[in-house]
Structure 1
């Protein structure tokens, strides 16, 4: 790459900045961005002028973390990275970097790696970057790629190459030497490939025993408790505002005494709150609100009488005059709404709404954080009077670039909106009651219900993840208090319940439909139908990327496991029956060519495209479906690669049963007979008819069952 060209001859060369030069040049700042721009001489630089995504934090570059001997040069190099653009010819030649300019998150990660490199060079006695030799490059490359995946190692080496590449865009280069992998090739500097999947397909889904009660309580919060919580929040805000506006009067002091002194004398509990500074103490605001006194009068009275310490020993509730309408297990869920508990409940309500939205749409967390009030309007009736589905207008951010290939921090509106089922619509409506019209549904300012601080944009990923953990703790306390220990959320075997795991969990459950979940199998079935319909009307043009790709992966993995179980069962001597028995056995025996390769959407789509050879477990119907579109009776959509398992029909030409399924059908019939004795006769008669139908299925299997060798002959 040429380094001696002048600014006039080469538009990619950047002039030297002065002490008062802006850190981000105007050309990279969008019209609506109002974040302050740092100066070149500052030791801490804000990346705010590059950030338009409301869900992103305002990242900062602390140049003091760079060794003093190298700080001047790295300051210049970082400024060039922030404002420079690699030449197209270089980008085209570079095999492992195809962008002239990264987004702000990648830029931040790049700078952090440069800082690490600077500190390492300083420890090696290098005081200027031009003294970095090939030996230095190779030693540091070996150090920083040790123990990481091949993909991450490639990214790190690309960041280090950027140090050399961007240096040449300065009017006064620092003389960074070329890393050896730029001329020799990068493969020899990378660890061996492990074949592991990356990104979302490596994210572990939540365990079924976790997502079941978590979703139960989240929907319960949104649909059963939200009216009480938001009414209590409105009353609390009214009471708090009244206290703020109330002056001290002689009557107010008398009211405080008349309210508190009888409680003290009777040894009763005192309204208490938890203060960061004092721990458990008297609820000053609440007492002021119910007595009509000022906060100072309550404080003075409590101080003189030692009520702060007394409240810590005798903490009591702070009931408000708000009707409680929400019910749980047939009874009201609260005796009263508590002044001090209400902000916590509002926070948990918003977190529950986030879980409902993310889990029941498959939306990425950063997309959900960008949703605004009004994003899901009520649809207008169709001409025939039917109601269309609710649609969510959302922005997406992943891989959104302008015509020059530069990342657009603000993202762009999805060409095809998300389909919202009823629980999602309800969750959005709850959030719209918390934030003003047109505001972000997860606005950091409006969801800071305790401290009421003004923050940038939406709640950040780390904040929401912590709130999920706090919600789980509250759920378990509430389940215990309500006498519902079976509805507690257990620990997940894979660790914290981050919101990013919900997307993969939805794909997992739609594909596998395990028992015991709150969202019943029919709900998942309808969601798959909605997703497939969306694919056929727009998403198909995008090559089944995003959530559909994840759904394909989980569906393929589930089908592969079904095939493996069938293969093992027949090898162990189980017999098989059904019109698709031969086809199912062929599908099961063709599995080895796909084993270990179903971790990418492309491989999964190829696996699922084998119409008639992909096997789907349907334990509710006690069969395996060797899905073939033309013979399926479940009314699959054109181009569907999976059956509508909730609409499984008797007599379908895709059905397959083994001895295990026949035995399971008989056991289920026995359970129905047992239940029939305990219910009224009309219902009992229906249960017995159903039981007889399942026994007939098992008998039909026994009469037609063949060994695998006979079936495939």
Structure 2
């Protein structure tokens, strides 16, 4: 191979190794460029690969690293990339400064700069698209709508995938060869390495985006059910004050994330309005700051069901029914699936039975009347089961709460829409008649609801004005302190989209 061909090839291989190391480790660009020979060590007992180097943005006492105090955990692909660089690099540094193959590159003790690396990445993309892609039958690297692909953006991309992809922390363990606690909480347990800042900002961005979407859906009258439904609505409304917030540090993002109004976590089949005091997934010895989905219990008082959750739940119920039809299922598994199916059906029925009936409802009148008729029949059947001592899903006590549970209807809906059936049950159970002023109370309730609608309309107008003012304040703040502030959600390099 001619020298004129060898030099650009060394450049492209070095750049490819940088991309592998930076993306699969989460290290800063400067930290990767300062790597030196012998930076990789292996622990056969732990089956882990460690990487030592010059850690940036840390205390002077910890700036110099040795294999005894390893800050990073990498996977086999990252270690292989470093081994290739150790074969290519002519000096102690793995990314020497200067043009590849020149005397400066051979002898310089300096490392490459971010600007020279950006040129290397651009040249690598061009070379790959024109020379390699067709040869290996691989798609070309396209233009990014958010700007040039640079080394700085790789770190943020890693944070984006861990936070936003389903099972992101597990994907981190599989794809990047490290555990979530070792990687995202500061490289082998050292929390000042800084990657947690990227995770924190990305979590804050995701949480605020979800809150905004939740608020828009509530504005369009999305129905929410479950024991935490009222708390969900309250937090979504209160969470709108984060619109236009400008953060200057990860500490502020951490403080914001600990705010109860941001503690809404959307799962696959339900929404957790997390409150540690009442979380069924919280073990006494744990200090989790969010839900532990693996220990989620359907009887938890932190659960809320949105329309999106119910849609997914219906699909899941359909799959469970299909599984139950299989003849090869062991009996214990069949029982467990049947119990879970019953719990899901109860949640769906409760969601539909608590759906408000109002003038803005778009459901056809015939369907609504049929649903109301079926609901009243369920209440009558539940009342009969309680009176005869054959309750199916309650403790069998002669109370209105028990009747609501047995009929799978909320207690509030029972009083508001079926007062005659409540009166019949009380009379039959010997609980006494309903107070004579029930009509007056219902009228007061209707008047209060009308006032609430008017107040909500005023609140929406005020929120629009506040959002406009927040946008103006944020813009003025950016103009005055553009060099010192990190404004979300556009802060930092954008992640690469695939």
Q: TM-score range by the shorter chain?
A: 0.5 to 0.7
| 1:473 Cα deviation after fit | 3.0
Q: Do structure 1's residue 564 and structure 2's residue 212 form an aligned pair? A: yes
CA distance 1:274–1:442, change in 2 (3 Å): closer
SS in 2 for 1:576: coil
1:248-327 superposed matches below 5 A: none
Give distance in 2, aligned partners of 1:661 and 1:452: 61
What does residue 287 of structure 1 align with?
none
C-alpha contact 2:162 2:169 (8 A) present in aligned 1: no
Deviation readout 1:23-82 (Å, 9 max, x if unpaired): xxxxxxxxxxxxxxxxxxxxxxxxxxxxxxxxxxxxxxxxxxxxxxxxxxxxxxxxxxxx
What does residue 148 of structure 2 align with?
496
Alignment partner of 1:624 out of 271, 288, 296: 271
C-alpha contact 1:622 1:664 (8 A) present in aligned 2: yes
What does residue 420 of structure 2 align with?
none
Give distance in 2, aligned partners of 1:712 and 1:568: 26
| 1:444 Cα deviation after fit | 3.6
C-alpha contact 2:271 2:304 (8 A) present in aligned 1: yes
| 1:344 Cα deviation after fit | 4.7
| 1:497 Cα deviation after fit | 0.9
What does residue 111 of structure 2 align with?
458
SS in 1 for 2:203: helix
What does residue 73 of structure 2 align with?
419
| 1:399 Cα deviation after fit | 7.0
| 1:606 Cα deviation after fit | 0.9
SS in 1 for 2:156: helix
SS in 2 for 1:394: coil
Deviation readout 1:370-396 (Å, 9 max, x if unpaired): 111222200252xxxxx1643322213
Alignment partner of 2:163 out of 497, 511, 527: 511
Q: Do structure 1's residue 439 and structure 2's residue 92 form an aligned pair? A: yes
Alignment partner of 1:576 out of 216, 224, 228: 224
Give distance in 2, aligned partners of 1:529 and 1:637: 18
C-alpha contact 2:181 2:189 (8 A) present in aligned 1: no
CA distance 1:643–1:471, change in 2 (3 Å): farther
SS in 2 for 1:564: helix
Deviation readout 1:435-475 (Å, 9 max, x if unpaired): 36x82222347x92588843442222122212222333344
Alignment partner of 2:308 out of 646, 654, 660: 660
Give distance in 2, aligned partners of 1:547 and 1:472: 26
SS in 2 for 1:498: coil
| 1:655 Cα deviation after fit | 4.4
Alignment partner of 2:350 out of 679, 693, 704: 704
Give distance in 1, aligned partners of 2:290 and 2:270: 15
C-alpha contact 1:553 1:598 (8 A) present in aligned 2: no
Deviation readout 1:83-131 (Å, 9 max, x if unpaired): xxxxxxxxxxxxxxxxxxxxxxxxxxxxxxxxxxxxxxxxxxxxxxxxx
Give distance in 2, aligned partners of 1:476 and 1:397: 34
Give distance in 1, aligned partners of 2:205 and 2:290: 13
Unaligned runs of 5+ in 1: 1-235, 237-272, 276-339, 382-386, 403-409, 683-688
Give distance in 2, aligned partners of 1:692 and 1:546: 47
C-alpha contact 2:43 2:49 (8 A) present in aligned 1: yes
Give distance in 2, aligned partners of 1:357 and 1:637: 37
Give distance in 2, aligned partners of 1:524 and 1:692: 38
Give distance in 2, aligned partners of 1:433 and 1:497: 27
SS in 2 for 1:360: helix
| 1:495 Cα deviation after fit | 0.9
What does residue 199 of structure 1 align with?
none
Give distance in 2, aligned partners of 1:449 and 1:519: 39
C-alpha contact 1:614 1:627 (8 A) present in aligned 2: yes
1:49-448 superposed matches below 5 A: 340=5, 344-381=8-45, 387=46, 389-398=48-57, 412-413=64-65, 417-435=71-89, 439-444=92-97, 448=100
What does residue 603 of structure 1 align with?
252
Deviation readout 1:503-549 (Å, 9 max, x if unpaired): 2222222222279999679658965333455489542xx5xx73222
Give distance in 1, aligned partners of 2:12 and 2:339: 46
What does residue 389 of structure 2 align with?
none
CA distance 1:673–1:466, change in 2 (3 Å): farther
Give distance in 2, aligned partners of 1:372 and 1:548: 25
Deviation readout 1:163-194 (Å, 9 max, x if unpaired): xxxxxxxxxxxxxxxxxxxxxxxxxxxxxxxx
Aligned length: 345
Give distance in 2, aligned partners of 1:555 and 1:640: 16
Give distance in 1, aligned partners of 2:49 and 2:299: 33
TM-score of the pair, normalised by structure 2: 0.55
CA distance 1:590–1:473, change in 2 (3 Å): same
Deviation readout 1:595-641 (Å, 9 max, x if unpaired): 222533122111222368512334xx244343445636498995544
TM-score of the pair, normalised by structure 1: 0.40
Give distance in 1, aligned partners of 2:48 and 2:412: 46
What does residue 176 of structure 1 align with?
none
CA distance 1:506–1:642, change in 2 (3 Å): farther
User: RMSD value over aligned CA atoms?
Assistant: 5.0
Give distance in 1, aligned partners of 2:97 and 2:340: 55
CA distance 1:596–1:448, change in 2 (3 Å): same
C-alpha contact 1:665 1:697 (8 A) present in aligned 2: no
Unaligned runs of 5+ in 2: 329-334, 358-409, 414-498
SS in 1 for 2:149: coil
CA distance 1:670–1:393, change in 2 (3 Å): same
Larger RCO of the pair (alpha carbons < 8 Å, separation 6+): 2
Give distance in 2, aligned partners of 1:515 and 1:554: 15
Give distance in 2, aligned partners of 1:468 and 1:574: 47
Alignment partner of 2:242 out of 594, 604, 608: 594
Q: Greater helix share, 1 or 2?
A: 2
Give distance in 2, aligned partners of 1:612 and 1:711: 26
Give distance in 2, aligned partners of 1:503 and 1:349: 20
